[in-house]
Structure 1
Amino acid sequence: MFSSQTYRKRRETLIQKMGRQGILLFLGNGEYPINFEDNTYPFRQDSSFLYYFGIQQPHLAAIIDLDENRTVIFGDEMSIDALVWMGRQETLQSKCEKSGVSETRSFGELAHYLAMAMTTQRKIHYLPPYQPANKILLGELLQLSIADFKPSSTLIQAVVSQREIKEEQEISEIEKALTVSTKMHLTAMRMAQPGVKEYEIAAAIQQIAAQENCALAYPSIVTVKGGILHNHFQGNTLKSGQLLLNDSGCETAMGYASDLTRTFPVDRTFTTEQRELYQVVLDAFEGAKNKLKAGVKFKEVHLHAALILSQGLIDFGLMKGNAADAVAAHAHTMFFQCGLGHMMGLDVHDMEDLGEQYVGYTPNEPKETQLFGLKSLRLGKALKSGHVLTVEPGIYFIPELIERWEAEKKYADFINYEKLNQYKGFGGIRIEDNFLIEEKGYRQLGPELIRTIAEIEAFRMD
């Protein structure tokens, strides 16, 4: 945990943003069975609960009562049965003291507290629940059907405005995660060779995270079929001539994440075509990161990367015409179907549970929900000093998309389908790093992980 002063200050700031009326309800996460009750998935606390209270323990809830100026954590100390099986652990009371909360009650009292508040028609603000059990619990507490939930937009916006600006101690935690993730990626590069299984590399990655007291921030993507954006199948055997895409990151014991991607040859060097297409993505990466600074809209950075990708693909012969016209028509989305990046912090896709319309966009400039490509851009609003985000351009060859669009003659003025059909099995290339936005630019976080063709080949040859 951070200092008790950290959590007090965060809650005080939230209270100032919310005013002095109503109750703020925070539900912690629970433990849930994999296949029987006592065999549970690894526990991960809700990130907003972590941010304001810092306690990594299941089956907790907290309220900040704005009317009565009090903060209460609801939870239970270990029963004698739990002590028999788990042994004596730090008490909940002790954890609450570290969080700067002096008032605790049993979890069973939460329903009564909220029922009394509802009898006097007090406003209860809550965030969108995402775990099924918490949806059921919230419905019972508020006497609502799940279909009638109305999470508080006021609370969501207040939480986002706080959590999106990272404190120095948060940056330090993110950089700890990046230090470990860099080791994970270098290990993957060292292991890759013909005959190795994808799952062997994925296992080594997970072992490094565990050895550093970290968990994976998300299921690792370790694949020779990089054209599948979120490919979690890891049963392929690496073969000469292929590229391996490794998208993997970890999170610290405090819950802060990293998110890195590198693509490199299974052989010790890139082929000529791999080299040229990799450089296209690298140029887009460099062009995008150099536009990062406070006040710049990330949507503009995304489109700038798309312009560089399009020009590179025109030069390579997979696209044709004018690059700016191609991007304006969205023809680049044949190769770049996703967004350039996303917020990162306590969640690898930071605060995504609160809604992209609040985290990545503004009411005046809402998210595009129809256009292919832009509808997958999680972040579009103007950047602020203190934002932490990813930059991850890529090009992806998706056979089904190629076949469908060619049959429709879609973007035929910009896409060279004759040549593109020769690349259906190429896979994909993605390069990703993590950045802190500053007033006049950016700071790349964590150790510098090799990314140029010369650096990767030199490492692979060593």
Structure 2
Amino acid sequence: MTESQTPTPEEQPLTERGSNRSQRPTSQAFRTFIADGWGSRPDALPERSPAADHAAARRAALGRLFPGERLVVPAGQLVTRNNDNDYRFRPHSAFAHLTGLGTDQEPDAVLVLHPLGEDDGAATSAAGGASPDDTPTHEAVLYFRPRAGRDTEEFYADSRYGELWVGVRPSLEEISALTGLRAEHVDSLADALAKDVGAGQVRVRVVPQADAAVEAQVATLRAQAGLSEGAADSDAALAEALSELRLRKDTYEIGEVRAAVAATAKGFEDIVRSLPRAVDHPRGERVIEGVFGARAREEGNGLGYDTIAAAGNHANTLHWIRNDGAVRAGQLVLVDAGVEVDSLYTADVTRTIPVDGTFTEAQRRVYQAVLDAADASFARAGQPGVKFRDLHAAAMEVLAARLAEWGMLPGTAEESLDPEGQYHRRWMVHGTSHHLGLDVHDCAQARREMYLDADLEPGMIFTIEPGLYFREDDLKVPEELRGIAVRIEDDILVREDGSVENLSAALPRTPDDVEAWMARLRG
């Protein structure tokens, strides 16, 4: 081959070279052959999801906050892990909350709440028998990529969406039956978003950082209509409202969190049984991580977050997810883990357990201090008129007092609890509680007055998770306590009567109960 015949990079763009290895058949004869000879699709549509009615109520509540505006809630796109491999898809939590869809079946889908005119709303209300106060403000439409026909190239050749590659995708009719939503092909989304925007009749808000392509579409529409000013604040207000909508869980959500906690408890039992194997393995923390991960996939969608399996001094790194260390006799192992069920609701539980099944005197002393702090926070949660911030304060009062008793503070517990002191926070730098639900740190975009400064209300689910972390090289810690870390975390529900329930109470918490539990599981 002469120099003039040498292919240049311009002849085949980089974006097209990934298919070079595929040797994909392209003949018309093949396309005709592969499209023929398949059985018929099932006629029966799926049953309506048990989440559908709850999701409809959530959409109605959101719509009332933004009358006359188009609200755009993307599920998100597939994300490349490396080369042509994608991460397992998980939809944006706001999309899951408003559609009731979970697992991984709707990449690129977009939920749009289209504003209804007064006549549209009244007609819809009359047809549904709703009261005037319940007059619909929006029509929700799900724009979705349905399965392609067997006579298309997508069917056999598209490794991201094709049926032979990733399985059978729902049809528009099937997704509509499942969700109760009107479903349209995602190819019609652009026109739907643009309707009446150029005329200045409709304002559009889009959930930020959910789908860059959809955000770009909305940005173009705004620019063309001269509506770009204040767009970021507008979208942030939508994200804020979606987050605050999840502060109080409905009965369906509470049931899903209960299921996630129950599966998580099984995972912790698996961990206890795996400890002998973990001790024998050079990366015993990975054994623990893997055992819990297997339970999460068997019982649910997967992990709600990366498991922390931290033995010995590793547990003093709060977000230790490398999990590559050994697990040795005489150590404590701190496991912070949660199963995410198919609806995408997750548990978030931490237990600190002795590898040998028995606490040493020093370990028990630290453990009891943390348990007392957790119990004090739980007791405070059950009192009337309690604010979310009070949960942390109750736990800190106990920990400061205990650290003062051990001679670790430069003054009294009271001086440490003063905002100008806070010396005890050296050994407990994180917060004691956070909301829990579709995200492990749920409702994170809520306003301070709706979260930290808010009263506890029925339907709220949150964690209580105090800890003490004494690093091996911390010279302010008594020598016998160095290298010990303890965290105890439970998932708490505020009931309708204002009382609180520890959803994860089935997992032992006291030192004696932990030891007895481990002995029973290990035979």
What is the match of residue 30 of structure 1?
A: 77
Structure 1 contact 259–432 (Cα < 8 Å) conserved = yes
Q: 2:145 aligns with which of 76, 80, 85?
A: 76
- Deviation at 1:437? 1.3
Q: Secondary structure, in 3 states, of the residue corresponding to 2:242?
A: helix
Deviation at 1:131, TM superposition (A): 5.9
Distance in 2, Cα, partners of 1:322 & 1:340: 22
Judge conservation of contact 1:114–1:142 (CA < 8 Å) in 2. no
Q: Does residue 1:97 correspond to 2:97, yes or no? A: no
Q: Distance in 1 between matches of 2:237 and 2:206?
A: 9
Find the aligned partners of 1:145 and 1:22 in 2 and give their Cα distance: 15
TM-score (norm 1): 0.84
Task: Give CA deviations for 1:251-282 in whole Å, capped at 9, x if unaligned.
Answer: 11011110000001122211111110110000
Distance 1:199 1:244 in 2: 12
1:43 matched residue in structure 2 = 89
Q: What percent of counterpart residues are identical?
A: 26
AA partner of residue 298 (structure 2): Q
Partner SS for 1:26: strand
Could you tell me how far apart the structure 2 residues matched to 1:230 and 1:87 are?
A: 36
Q: Distance in 1 between matches of 2:52 and 2:417?
A: 50
For 1:394-413, what aligned pairs fall within 5 Å after superposition? 394-398=467-471, 402=474
Describe the shift of the 1:313–1:87 C-alpha distance in structure 2 as closer, same or farther (beyond 3 A): closer
8 Å CA contact 2:467–2:486 kept in 1: the answer is yes
What stretches of structure 2 of length at least 5 have no aligned partner? 1-48, 118-137, 155-161
Judged with a 3 Å threshold, the aligned counterparts in structure 2 of structure 1 residues 73 and 310 are, in CA distance, closer, same or farther, namely same
Residue type of the partner of 1:199? R
Q: Spell out the pairing of 1:282-297 with structure 2 (5 A cutoff).
A: 282-293=371-382, 295-297=385-387
Letter paired with 2:449 = T
Paired with 2:509 and 2:321, the residues of 1 have a C-alpha distance of: 23
C-alpha contact 1:247 1:262 (8 A) present in aligned 2: yes
Separation (CA, whole Å) in 1 of partners of 2:429 and 2:271: 26
Q: What corresponds to 2:24 in structure 1?
A: none
- Structure 1 match to 2:489: 432
Of 40, 45, 58, the residue aligned with 1:10 is 58
2:460 to 387, 412, 415: 387
Question: Is the CA contact (8 Å cut-off) linking 1:397 and 1:424 kept in structure 2?
Answer: yes
1:453 Cα deviation from its structure 2 partner: 0.5
Q: Which amino acid aligns with 1:455?
A: D
How far apart, CA to CA, are the structure 2 residues paired with 1:313 and 1:128?
44
The structure-2 alpha-carbon separation of the partners of 1:424 and 1:278, relative to structure 1 and needing over 3 Å to count, comes to closer
Deviation at residue 158 of structure 1 after TM alignment: 3.7
Amino acid at match of 2:58: R
1:311-340 C-alpha deviation (Å, 9 max, x unpaired): 112223333532122111111110110000
Determine helix, strand or coil for the equivalent of 1:302: helix
User: Does structure 1 residue 342 correspond to structure 2 residue 415?
Assistant: no
Counterparts of 1:136 and 1:178, CA distance in 2: 39
Q: Tell me if the contact between 2:310 and 2:334 (Cα under 8 Å) persists in the aligned partners.
A: yes
Superposed CA deviations along residues 391-421 of structure 1, whole A, max 9, x for unmatched, are: 0000112468x57xxxxxxxxxxxxx3xx16
> 2:197 aligns to what SS in structure 1?
helix
Question: Judging changes above 3 Å, is the alpha-carbon distance between structure 1 residues 147 and 190 closer, same or farther for their aligned structure 2 residues?
Answer: farther
Post-superposition offset of 1:77: 1.7
Residue 55 of structure 1 aligns with which residue?
101
The answer to whether the Cα contact below 8 Å between 1:178 and 1:447 also exists between their aligned partners in 2 is no
| 1:39-438 superposed matches below 5 A | 39-56=85-102, 57-68=106-117, 69-79=138-148, 80=152, 81=154, 82-102=162-182, 104-121=183-200, 122-130=202-210, 139=219, 142-143=222-223, 149-152=232-235, 154-193=237-276, 194-196=279-281, 197-224=284-311, 225-293=314-382, 295-319=385-409, 321-328=411-418, 329-352=421-444, 355=445, 357-358=446-447, 361-362=448-449, 379-398=452-471, 402=474, 417=476, 420=477, 422=479, 425-438=482-495
Larger radius of gyration: 2
Instruction: Provide the TM-score with structure 2 as the length reference.
Output: 0.75
Contact 2:257 2:346 in 1 (8 A): yes
Cα-to-partner distance string for 1:46-89 (whole Å, 9 max, x where unaligned): 11111111234111112112244432222222223223434544
Residue 341 of structure 1 and its aligned partner are, at CA, apart by 1.3
- Mapped partners of 1:397, 1:175: distance in 2: 33
| Cα RMSD for the two superposed structures | 2.6
- The aligned counterpart of 1:370 is none
Aligned length: 424
- The whole-number CA distance in structure 2 between the counterparts of 1:126 and 1:15 is 13
Question: Could you tell me how far apart the structure 2 residues matched to 1:153 and 1:35 are?
Answer: 31
Cα deviations by residue, 1:433-461 (Å, 9 ceiling, x for unpaired): 00111343201114511111001112233
Check whether the contact 1:397–1:423 (CA below 8 A) recurs between aligned residues: no
The one-letter amino acid of 2:191's match is: H
Q: Could you tell me how far apart the structure 1 residues matched to 2:471 and 2:213 are?
A: 37
- The 10-residue stretch of structure 1 (278-287 or 296-305) with the greater mean CA deviation from structure 2: 296-305
Q: Which is worse superposed, 182-191 or 228-237?
A: 182-191
Contact residue 198 and residue 237 of structure 1 kept, 8 A? yes
Q: Write the letter of the residue equivalent to 1:217.
A: G
Residues 341, 390 of structure 1: 8 Å contact kept: yes
The AA in structure 1 aligned to 2:323 is Q
Residues 391, 433 of structure 2: 8 Å contact kept:
no
Instruction: Tell me: CA distance 1:295–1:141, structure 2 relative to 1, closer, same or farther (3 Å).
Output: farther
Query: Does structure 1 conserve the Cα–Cα contact (< 8 Å) formed by 2:490 and 2:505?
Result: no
Instruction: Output the CA distance in 1 between the equivalents of 2:289 and 2:116.
Output: 51
Cα shift readout 1:176-212 (whole Å, capped 9, x = no counterpart):
1111100111222232244341101111111112222
> For residues 131-176 of structure 1, what are the alpha-carbon distances to aligned partners after superposition, in whole Å with 9 as ceiling and x for unaligned?
6666556545655999963344553454344321111121111111
The answer (yes or no) to whether the contact 2:52–2:100 under 8 Å persists in 1 is no
Label 1:83 to 1:267 Cα distance change in 2 as closer, same or farther (>3 A).
Answer: closer
